[in-house]
Structure 1
């Protein structure tokens, strides 16, 4: 008999990517014991919430979640509030929190320049040797009536620090979730959805010896890696998703009216007939 967790993942891979959240909720309602494992293993479109303290939007994911509460990167508090002992363990402090604040400021500028809107968030947490984190971006456009578009990128990082503080090992796993839909008289209904995951690992130098300089060096390195990865993945999506979709639609449908196509075929037959009669 197949393992329920593996069976659930197999089922989700075969269902439409645009309905992953809905299907995931349905599977969890049937098998509640799989909730934690599924939520940590399946990438779904990000949701946003508004920080009560700062009034700014932030993104919700499994990495800033505790039960039904999510931690805001702006206030560093869970909403709704959780037990004080649990919060003390889950909320970052010291250098990790300082780097988280700097990283959020950096990705917010990047989001405005590259996405011209949307929502971004970054979360960090300490490890035994280094730290880990996630950088999130979400941009939605249009409405469900005529067409909609959604871009969600999830960059999970792990940073291993050496004792010399001259360099650090960075491991980045990035996933982009794309969801596009269009409804019009010309094309009727068109949907393009899916996700793409890529991974990279680099050892990068850190400048300076003071703690503040090392922290800033981490932020710069993480920012460059995320920017490079997003550029690569945008180019891949352009080739794989849009290129293939254009080829398929071009083979199945013609933008030329049927009457013009029949007229062209008739002219071609007439030209061939005259050539054969000579």
Structure 2
């Protein structure tokens, strides 16, 4: 530990803290070490916040990918709030892809999540463009929430109509049981999962670019959702079943005795 840098130590700390309280913990750490703000804010994914676009009336998500100073750009109007005269915006071609992706992801969220907020932000790069697909779904009482952050970049390969897509996805999940009394204890479950993938895909026009990004996000979310179900929910179910039985204790002991008798009889046969 003597050779560990403050940046590595802080990142290692956040890997062990409750993801449900990551924003509060981040504010606390930065109060004591403001010099780590650039590293931590750019490296640690936080639960997404939403705002409503003044022009379109649609909700959009706030993050570092659409922030310029203290203002945030709406993917629907391409304007910053509070207004900025020199805010960074994508080029016309990239903006066209951004608009199409936002419309596509809005349909995706309605179909898969039955409501929620999605936002897609693209920005120009020397080798074409990169972007982020953000999805937020929460319960009506805000006791549970799902935040998925998919950051990708598109790189030309030198092959005709072939691009390399690199995707890094992070899911922040938190759930808490509701109780009717303040004296009752609540069961909470939270976690954060990050996965990466890359594919070489064919690109012929703007529609194929939208389809490629959408398909990669969909496939990644399906894999991560399955993993979360098996590890988080499956393991929690096993633990709860091991410490609590819905059957009376006498009945459980009687069943165990019968099973023991059956096994003993089979071994003597």
User: TM-score w.r.t. structure 2 length?
Assistant: 0.88
Q: How does 1:1-278 map to 2 (within 5 A)?
A: 2-82=4-84, 84-85=85-86, 87=87, 90-143=88-141, 148-162=143-157, 165-184=160-179, 188-207=185-204, 214-256=205-247, 260-262=248-250, 264-265=252-253
CA gap of 1:189–1:126, structure 2 versus 1, over 3 A, is: same
Q: Report the CA distance shift for 1:272/1:247 in structure 2 as closer, same or farther (over 3 A).
A: closer
Distance in 2 between residues matched to 1:158 and 1:267, nearest whole Å = 58
Q: Distance in 1 between matches of 2:253 and 2:144?
A: 39
The gaps in structure 1 that reach 5 residues or longer are 208-213
User: How many pairs were matched up?
Assistant: 258
Query: Distance between the aligned counterparts of 1:229 and 1:121, measured in 2?
Result: 17
Deviations 1:179-199 (A, max 9, x none): 000033798311110011111
Q: Structure 2: where are the runs of 5+ without partners?
A: 265-269
Distance 2:168 2:260 in 1: 59
Question: For the aligned residues, what is the CA RMSD?
Answer: 2.5
Contact 1:134 / 1:157 at 8 angstroms: preserved in 2? Answer: yes
Counterpart-to-counterpart distance in 2, 1:215 and 1:200: 22
- Structure 1 117/266 Cα, relative in aligned 2: closer, same or farther at 3 Å? closer
Shift of 1:7: 2.2
SS in 2 for 1:226: helix
Do the aligned residues in 2 keep the contact of 1:95 with 1:215 (CA within 8 Å)? no
Deviation string, structure 1 residues 32-61 (Cα, Å, up to 9, x no partner): 232222111001111101112221110011
CA contact (8 A) 2:91 2:124 kept: no
8 Å CA contact 1:102, 1:219 repeated in 2: yes
**C-alpha distance in 1, partners of 2:244/2:122?**
48
